[in-house]
Amino acid sequence: MRIKDILSPESMIMELKATNKEDAIKEMADLEVKTGIVNNEDEFIKSIWAREKESTTGIGGGIAMPHARNEYINKARVLFAKSKEGIDYDSLDGQPVHLFFMITAPAGADNTHLQALAKLSGLLVNPDLVEKLKQATTPDEVIKFFTDAEAAKDAQDKADEEKRKAAAAKKAASENKDDEKPLIVGVTACINGIAHTYMAEQALIDAGKKRGIEVRIETNGSEGVKHQLTPDEIKRAKGVIIASDKKVDMPRFDGKELTNHPVVDGINKPDELIDTIMNNKADIYHASAADKEESSANTSGGGVWHSIYQNLMNGISHMLPFVIGGGILMAISFIVENYAGGAKSPAFIFLNSAGNLAFAFMVPILAAYIAESIGDLPALMPGLVGGYMAAIVNGTNGLTVNVQAHATSPAGFLGGIAAGFIAGYMMVGLKKLFAKLPKSVEGMKPMLLYPILGLLFIALIMYFIINPIFSTINMLVTHFLNGMGTANLAVLTTILAGMMAIDMGGPFNKAAYVFASGAFANDPSSATAQVMMAAVMVGGMVPPFATAIGTAFFKNKFNAEERRAGVSNWILGFSFITEGAIPFAAGDPGHVIPSCVIGSAVGGLLVGLWHIQVPAPHGGLWVSPLANHILLYFLATIIGSIVAGVILSLWKKPVNEK
């Protein structure tokens, strides 16, 4: 597939009307919907902003590449847009953006589409092409410039490949390595793997060519690992450049000079990264367990605690479908029980059983994917078994098993987290222990040694240490929560609800939700756990409702695009989708976030004072029939939303729209 196949005159805006980042994204998204590329504008915009929250796609040099790949996209396409005056896009170099490339790929995009997107991204490091695009006046010119650049690059790649083969043949014939060019190897990868991965690859290769240095880059993008580095290339390389925003396979670089950076540095600072290697300024990488974890964390600028957070979030992200799917089915079963047939109803029995089965996998899946994040695939099975042992007591957790746990109650959610980290680091230790075994027994490690020893050690640790300790802790926490008075409980619900609005889907939001859902998972019948679930849902519903209220009743404080977005937030708020408020928070964090935190905290306070219980981990107001006080559940949400909406709207200055 050629680049012209993903460019189209109908998907081009030769002069954007927008003057700020939010309006630019909205204007481009409007055209994506109009041309049939996107089927749900609100969800698509949310995914674009979610990517911007990770790191700006304004890569510098006057270019921005907002991109998404999900089920709300019908077709792979690149929307091209220009702004003559330039738009402040929070770019990495602080300069305004003139050229926009909104890259879209459906969730099931095939490799041919992804390869074309990757090639287009790589071309944008060519300054001549960028300058021509800035001067283009028609869509046909844009397509022609890309087509010509693609043909030139294909010809150059073909010539380079022939030179490489000739050099390899010469080397094989003479075995004289004195004439070889210096070789630097590297890996580029970004979260979405659509654009930045390939731009960094091309920038590093081009920088190497200018200086007579051979650069070989392995890309870890949407279509998987490409140009995988061989052991011979790594051995021959002078050093390694990692330009990645996600975890890559690091131990193979043991003993090499290595410099580790975010992917945008590969795009914007290729000469600097190459200099680091060529001037021997890079540290020698040693593949210890700690270095392995720290390396992935350092790409995001975090450190050890950031690494722990990433591993925990890997487990939680895999666990949440079980919590939400199982919880909602259980919630529906309770509605059936209360209003349509009772506890003997076949519909109740079926829905409740299905929900309970999903819930039974929650802690094992959490532990398994924490372990997998730390120790890779060999740690998955020990993590799963450790999490399963944390969830059972006397052989029961919703699944049939003949195990007698060495504890009086399940270690539960906390024990599952401990099991995941223990299994992960245990597997890292086993890998180090067996690293020097003869190559003749290499195949035994993944097929025999890791499974047997991993299972044996995690079973011993869980049975004799973790389960007894954490089951006791779990009982103490449960008794403490259940024994909290109304005043103390109100303080807790106020804090939890307020945290839901701090970053609207980020670490604070997830920490509050995980705390409440963990207590609920340990004991779904606990009144206190049900109050905490009600509090986090109210806290999560307030931000979208607050922005909807503001845009509806204080129209002069919001621009036209914000007023349109506010309409959809009524539904998002009702459904407990906090992320509907992210575009507002991103555009005006100083006013939106404090207002929403106050409103959410007020809602949480009312939930605690009124002792509102909701026996479901998700669903917002859709699961209100399950609440013990339906009207009070609505009232707490309404009051918190009005407080936030009024504070926000009175605080903001009127918008002057021309």
Token reading at 2: 């050629």
- Exactly one of 67, 196, 261, 591 is catalytic; name it: 67
Q: What is the 3-state secondary structure (H, E, C) of 391-409?
A: HCECCECCCECCCCCCCCC
Q: Give the C-alpha separation, 148 to 614, whole Å.
A: 61
Return all residues near 154 (Cβ < 8 A) that are at least 6 apart: none
Cα separation, 195 vs 574, in Å, equals: 35
Rounded distance, CA 73 to CA 198, Å?
21
Q: CA 514, CA 512: separation in Å to the nearest integer?
A: 6
Phi, psi of 241 (to 5 degrees): -110, 120
The first and second tokens of residue 5, run together, are 């196949």
Buried b (16+ CB within 10 A) or exposed e, 557-589: bbbebbbebbebbbebbbbbbbbbbbbbbbbbe
Contacts of 198 by beta carbon, 8 Å cutoff, 6+ apart: 118, 119, 121, 122, 188, 219, 221
Q: For residues 474 and 402, is the Cβ–Cβ distance under 8 A?
A: no
Which one, of 418, 369, 373, 370, lies nearest residue 391 by Cα?
Answer: 418
User: For 258-308, what is the HEC assignment?
Assistant: EEEECHHHHHHCHHHHHHHHHCCCCEECCCCHHHHHHHHHHCCCCCHHHHH
Q: Would you give the distance in Å from CA 34 to the centre of its chain? A: 28
Of the residues 98, 113, 190, 306, only one is catalytic, namely 190
For residues 484 and 492, is the Cβ–Cβ distance under 8 A?
yes
Q: Record the tokens describing residue 655, joined without a space.
A: 């918008």
CB 324 within 8 A of CB 521: no
Q: Could you tell me if 117 and 223 are in contact, meaning their C-beta atoms sit under 8 angstroms apart?
A: no
The answer to whether residues 336 and 389 touch, using CB atoms and an 8 Å cutoff, is: no
- Catalytic residue at 67? yes
**Token pair in block for residue 435:** 């690293």
Residue 193: which region, alpha, beta or left (left: phi > 0; alpha: psi -120 to 50)? left
Active site residue 596: no
Could you tell me if 134 and 99 are in contact, meaning their C-beta atoms sit under 8 angstroms apart? Answer: yes
Give the residue numbers annotated as catalytic, written as ranges: 67, 190
